[in-house]
């Protein structure tokens, strides 16, 4: 018997996850998307895996360019996360007009200066996984690291603080 899609989504919504911003700089523009399906894969060599919609433009651009930036978002980035989760969004630079950012040294992708951490990554490979792809990323640098920043978390379809209480809407 197949698993009900709504039950599956509700079950996974019970798992609190950090929220990240994946950005890619191609020859024309900057593309970005909010992701919460991120996991550490290996420390030696440093690898992370990121789940992306298989039909989405960010996965297509990442495959073409082969490098990206991945910022672990801080609590104050809830609006940024919402902006990059919306369909039909404009250039990443336009969505970050009031947010301090810089370029990662290897990928030249946008990373947020006030995130918890930022990873400068090279695509090892894309693996098909249902309606998504898993991007296996080799971490080549850590241009941002702030151990004191408060994380942005997603739980039950909403952004929450460390206690699990909903974040106020800004």
At 123-154, the pLDDT tens digits run: 999 999 999 999 999 999 999 999 999 999 99
Reported as a single tens digit per residue, the pLDDT across 50-75 is 999 999 899 999 999 999 999 999 99
Q: Which one, of 19, 4, 50, 20, lies nearest residue 161 by Cα?
A: 19
Phi, psi of 31 (to 5 degrees): -115, 140
- Judge whether 164 lies within some domain: no
> How many degrees, rounded to 5, is the angle at CA 44 between CA 30 and CA 38?
45
What average pLDDT does range 19-47 have in this prediction? 94
Sort strands 117-129 and 110-112 into parallel, antiparallel or unpaired: unpaired
- Judge whether 98 lies within some domain: yes
pLDDT greater than 90 at residue 90: no
- Judge whether 5 lies within some domain: no
- Judge whether 166 lies within some domain: no
Q: CATH code at 34?
A: 2.30.110.10
Predicted pLDDT of residue 1: 85
Predicted pLDDT of residue 91: 83
DSSP per-residue codes, 137-151? EEEEEEEEE-TTSPB
Sort strands 20-25 and 38-43 into parallel, antiparallel or unpaired: unpaired
- Judge whether 56 lies within some domain: yes
Number of domains in the chain: 1
Query: Which domain does 62 fall in, by range?
Result: 17-156
Predicted pLDDT of residue 86: 84
Mean per-residue pLDDT of the chain = 92
H-helix or E-strand spanning residue 8: helix 5-13
């Amino acid at each position: 018997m197949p698993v009900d899609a709504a039950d599956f989504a509700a079950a996974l919504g019970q798992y609190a996850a950090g929220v990240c911003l994946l950005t890619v700089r191609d020859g024309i523009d900057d593309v970005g998307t909010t992701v919460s399906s991120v996991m550490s894969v290996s420390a030696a060599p440093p690898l992370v895996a990121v789940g992306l919609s298989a039909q989405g433009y960010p996965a297509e651009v990442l495959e073409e360019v082969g490098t990206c930036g991945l910022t672990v978002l801080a609590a104050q980035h809830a609006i940024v996360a919402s902006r990059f989760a919306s369909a039909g969004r404009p250039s990443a630079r336009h969505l970050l007009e009031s947010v301090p950012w810089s370029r990662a040294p290897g990928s030249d992708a946008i990373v947020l200066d006030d995130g918890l951490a930022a990873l400068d990554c090279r695509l090892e490979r894309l693996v098909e996984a249902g309606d998504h792809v898993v991007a296996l990323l080799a971490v080549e640098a850590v241009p941002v690291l702030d151990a004191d920043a408060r994380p942005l978390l997603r739980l039950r379809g909403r952004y929450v603080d460390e206690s699990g209480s909903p974040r106020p809407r800004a």
